[in-house]
Structure 1
Amino acid sequence: MYGVDGKKFQRQYKQSLSNFNDWEQKPHAEEQILYPENISSQLSIDEVALSEGELYTVLTSKKAKGRKGCLVAVIRGTKSETVIEHLLKLSRKTRMKVKEITLDMAGSMKLIAKRCFPAATQVIDRFHVQKLATEALQEIRIKHRWEAIELENELLERSKEKEVKTEIEIFSNGDTRKQLLARSRYLLYKSKEKWTLEQTHRAEILFYQYPDLEKAYSLSDGLRKIYNQNITKSVAMLKLAHWFKNAEESGFKSFNTLMKTIMLNYNGILNYFNARSTNASAESFNAKIKNFRLQLRGVRDKSFFLFRLYKLFA
């Protein structure tokens, strides 16, 4: 439209207009970029893939709410020793300003938070805990689905051998057993109040056919409800103790594993009930990076990509 060649303009922007070549952090950008001036009392730490699955550890400030000034550090890799080494370049006075840091249950992230921000309370993100509960539930559904597929295959083989019409069971909502288990995937992610009429009907059939799925769903939903209630830390401890008892009595191996995981991360999980802080800002920032990367159709020059992130978010 303006008679400007796109590739030429892109090259001019990168080499001249953007001041990329004068960026003070360019020499070490692919290894680490630090912005101590953006540190606030509440931080989030998470990992994100920039290109070809290569992971970077990203530290963001909650104060900026995912906008300009939220980026504190981007460090290549997730190895705790490497990340700690770079974060310790920030002055102790600056690091001691941090009073709360949200993170997932990875041991490396907890070690980074402990060594670099000793004055900060560690808060395990609630969504990582809930995700494990949902995955435990889905594991039971998937097991039943494979059994239903195998059963249908056997019926088809028998019918073929006897040269008769296959009679496959169809439920009142029009689903076969295999379809019922496949189509129930999304309703199990939601609480009953958010089900549509069709999903409610499907859930009734599913739970009638598979009582163990109803029991597992109650456990998953029970954990979600503990998080959703505006309760104190002491009340949350009591409710979690009841949930542990139910999980243990259920006999589900996946939920017993989840229970042990919660117990090993007990203090960090309970710290959520102090101020109800989550890692949502870090997840939101990661989504923005992924969207930005998608618009650029991949990342070829990592240094320039990080420079653009610095311009937008640091």
Structure 2
Amino acid sequence: MVNTKASDCHTIGYFYGVNGKKLQRQYKDYLSDFKDWKQKKHAKEWLLFPENIGSYLSIDETALSKGELYTIITNKKAKGKKGAIVGIFSGTKVEPIIEQLLKISAKERSKVREVTLDMANSMKIIVKKCFPKAIQVTDRFHVQKLALEALQDIRIKHRWEAIDLENELIKQARAKNKSFVPEEFNNGDTRKQLLARSRYLLYKAPNNWTENQHERSKILFNQYPDIKIAFNLVQGLRNIFNTATSVETAYTKMAHWYKDVENTGFRAFNTIANTITVNYRSILNYFINRSTNASAESFNAKIKAFRSQFRGVRNIEFFLYRLTKIFA
């Protein structure tokens, strides 16, 4: 029988003329070794695969079902294939995860040289306690995401103002028994449309803009200079990650970027700058090997695809059993 590969029992049943539900039950209860699975008793709480530990790990959280979060540690060398899962833990509480990880021998845990993670303090405590010899690397894309969100917040604020203004002008026009015709810019956008349609171009670097996006950006930046300043800050941060060749160079560039943020007075960007200051050591560690948490994000996507293929998670233990059969 197929060894829990991503094949849906209903699909197999359709091709072979058997009842898919019955086939699934047969596989679960008799054809697989799920009943004798050694980790079944504690599968809902934790799963540990010490043999999969490696020099370069990622730690991240994902939702398996109904928004319930699980913390997952993966080995980057496995590249999301067999041997990828080092541990899966229910929730994000530090103490229970540390308790289980410390069951792995100190010798094995000392092999870990680098762990990529996001900026959650809980993740840092877990790594520091369980993998004391590992360098912690904050994922650059989490840092850039914060800056992009701050930029979009400024755009959204202006958009709500534009909506309020348009609604007020419509009321005034109706009071005078006139029809309201919104002002249009050269590209055909109204003010409200300009701010709505600029969302995606602000996520991209200018060299990736289409001709229409170039035209729209000129109008947007002319009408809203603060969005232009915020956009340049985002691009400046992106350029630091793309071009800095050493920790020392990155540190200097980050200091200049921090000063530029202070000069703008943007509250959201000051918050980001302070977050970077708090996490600066692990952020700068990116420039040692240029490691990211992309492998963890990719693995999370695989879990979601696996979950959707099996039409959700009805039995958490059996879902984890199938997941670990493939990836652990």
* TM-score, L = length of structure 2: 0.95
Distance 1:61 1:84 in 2: 18
Give the aligned partner of residue 272 of structure 1: 286
Q: Which runs of 5+ in 1 are unaligned?
A: none
Superposition map of 1:149-164 within 5 A: 149-164=163-178
**AA in 2 matched with 1:308:** R
Give the aligned partner of residue 244 of structure 1: 258
SS at match of 1:300: coil
Distance 1:18 1:159 in 2: 71
Give the aligned partner of residue 81 of structure 2: 67
Superposition map of 1:85-124 within 5 A: 85-124=99-138
Distance 2:244 2:26 in 1: 54
SS at match of 1:44: strand
> Is it true that 1:5 corresponds to 2:26 in the alignment?
no
Give the aligned partner of residue 249 of structure 2: 235
SS at match of 1:63: helix
**AA in 1 matched with 2:123:** M
Bigger shift: 293-302 or 277-286? 293-302
Distance 2:133 2:86 in 1: 17
- Please report how far the alpha carbon of residue 86 of structure 1 lies from its aligned counterpart in structure 2 after TM superposition: 1.3
- Please report how far the alpha carbon of residue 173 of structure 1 lies from its aligned counterpart in structure 2 after TM superposition: 1.1
Instruction: Check whether the contact 2:244–2:250 (CA below 8 A) recurs between aligned residues.
Output: no
**AA in 2 matched with 1:46:** D
> Is it true that 1:310 corresponds to 2:324 in the alignment?
yes
Distance 1:8 1:256 in 2: 58
Give the aligned partner of residue 10 of structure 2: none
* TM-score, L = length of structure 1: 0.99
- Please report how far the alpha carbon of residue 17 of structure 1 lies from its aligned counterpart in structure 2 after TM superposition: 1.3
Superposition map of 1:18-37 within 5 A: 18-37=32-51
Give the aligned partner of residue 181 of structure 2: 167
Same amino acid, percent of matched pairs: 63
Bigger shift: 229-238 or 218-227? 229-238
> Is it true that 1:79 corresponds to 2:123 in the alignment?
no
Identify which of 68, 85, 88 aligns with 1:54. Answer: 68
Map Cα deviations across residues 151-179 of structure 1 (whole Å, 9 max, x no partner). 00001100111101213111111111011
Identify which of 281, 288, 291 aligns with 2:295. Answer: 281
Map Cα deviations across residues 100-125 of structure 1 (whole Å, 9 max, x no partner). 00000001000000001000000000
Distance 1:147 1:231 in 2: 42
**AA in 2 matched with 1:90:** I
- Please report how far the alpha carbon of residue 301 of structure 1 lies from its aligned counterpart in structure 2 after TM superposition: 0.2
- Please report how far the alpha carbon of residue 3 of structure 1 lies from its aligned counterpart in structure 2 after TM superposition: 2.6
Give the aligned partner of residue 223 of structure 1: 237
- Please report how far the alpha carbon of residue 230 of structure 1 lies from its aligned counterpart in structure 2 after TM superposition: 4.8
Distance 1:197 1:62 in 2: 39
Cα RMSD between the aligned structures?
0.8
Work out the number of aligned pairs and report it. Answer: 314
Identify which of 29, 42, 51 aligns with 1:15. Answer: 29
Q: Which runs of 5+ in 2 are unaligned?
A: 1-14
> Is it true that 1:198 corresponds to 2:221 in the alignment?
no
Distance 1:5 1:214 in 2: 60
